[in-house]
Amino acid sequence: MPSPDEIRDSQRAAWAGLAAGWEKWDSVIMDQLAPVGAAIIEGLGIGQRHHHLDIASGTGEPGLTIARLAVEGRVVLTDLAPEMLDIATRRAAAQGIANIETRVCSADDLPFGDAAFDSVSVRFGYMFFPDMATATAEFARVLKPGGRLCASVWVKPEENPWTSIAMQAIGTETAVPSPAPDAPNMFRCAAPGYISALYEDAGLLDIAEWDVPVELTTKSPEQYWAMISEHVSLAVAALQRIDEPGRARIRAHAIANVRAFEKDGTVRVPGLARCIVGTKQS
Ligand SMILES: C[S@@+](CC[C@H](N)C(=O)[O-])C[C@H]1O[C@@H](n2cnc3c(N)ncnc32)[C@H](O)[C@@H]1O
């Protein structure tokens, strides 16, 4: 089992490498994940004056949308990878959002004082943290009493054909090793109650989980494969180990299988996320 420092180093390097793909496919990714951002925002009950902390912000969501709602407040976007936060800064400028700041840090070691924030969000970050219990304790520490934490994780691969089609295609060329249960991967937190148990251990109250459907929409099966192979962490890592002819066969396989989701010239592939909310005791 790698040490927490080794996990942080490998995640930092992985996301530095994925950043260009996330920027290139920004609008497709953001459209797919928007229902989850909306669910997190609803769970948090963002107020106009909220001082909000977005963890593992990546290219900026849901922090940037929250900044637009907290018009008299402020949002701090944090991430381990400066390359991802650089994109968030560019997106904020393009959208005219000024009430934000960025901070490079790991979720399990936050450079903020106790009770500094009204709310905390973590969209698709938990599964990559070296120590999820320590991270949750940090989120609870920086929340004001009565403040809420809301996170999202992916439900199991069978409910997420948008990514399992690609992984199954990759599996035709190479054995994709099942990740160790405690190692970072997209589906590490898929079990119902997994994140709720972390919240409970951190002393949060009024914990609730609910599922949120998403849909990945691309203009063609070819565009589906291009965007998946350039930004999905599991796929990018697996494809790096395969030679060019093998990658071409995988591409053809994935494109053939995703055609089942093509209708009227558009590809729409479903997926399922889970949101988890909890409140710090008043
Ligand atoms: C799937 S992206 C999510 C980005 C964004 N929240 C969204 O939903 O579009 C996961 C992010 O987690 C970040 N990350 C990985 N390990 C982290 C850690 N220990 N602390 C903070 N962020 C981390 C990565 O750098 C990456 O930007």
Burial class of residue 239, CB neighbours in 10 A (0-12, 13-18, 19+): buried
Instruction: Tell me which DSSP letter residue 48 carries.
Output: T
Per the domain annotation, does 27 fall within a domain? yes
Kindly write down the DSSP assignment for every residue of 221-253, as one continuous string. HHHHHHHHHHH-HHHHHHHTTS-HHHHHHHHHH
- Indicate the top mutation candidate among 78, 84, 121, 153 to test ligand 1's pocket, ranked by most ligand atoms within 8 A of CB: 84
Q: How far is the CA of 3 from the centre of ligand 1 (A)?
A: 18
Q: What is the pLDDT of residue 1?
A: 78
Q: Is the CB of 125 under 6 A from ligand 1?
A: yes
Residue 56 lies in a domain: yes
Mapped onto helix, strand or coil, the DSSP state of residue 32 is: helix
Q: Is 61 in the pocket of ligand 1 (CB under 6 A)?
A: yes
Report the CATH number that the domain containing residue 96 is assigned in CATH.
3.40.50.150
Q: For ligand 1, say whether the CB of 224 is within 6 Å of any of its atoms.
A: no
CB 229 within 8 A of CB 239: yes
**102 Cβ below 6 A of ligand 1:** no
Flag whether 197 is in a domain. Answer: yes
Residue 27's domain spans which residues?
4-156+187-217+272-279
Q: Which of 44, 58, 203 is nearest to 138 (CA)?
A: 203
State the total domains in the chain.
Answer: 1
Q: Is residue 89 situated within a structural domain?
A: yes
Range of weakest confidence among 13-22, 68-77, 228-237: 228-237
The answer to whether residue 228 is domain-embedded is no
> What pLDDT digit, counting tens, does each position of 110-166 carry?
999 999 999 999 999 999 999 999 999 999 999 999 999 999 999 999 999 999 999
Measured CA to CA, the distance from residue 129 to residue 275 in angstroms comes to 17
* Mean pLDDT taken over the chain: 96
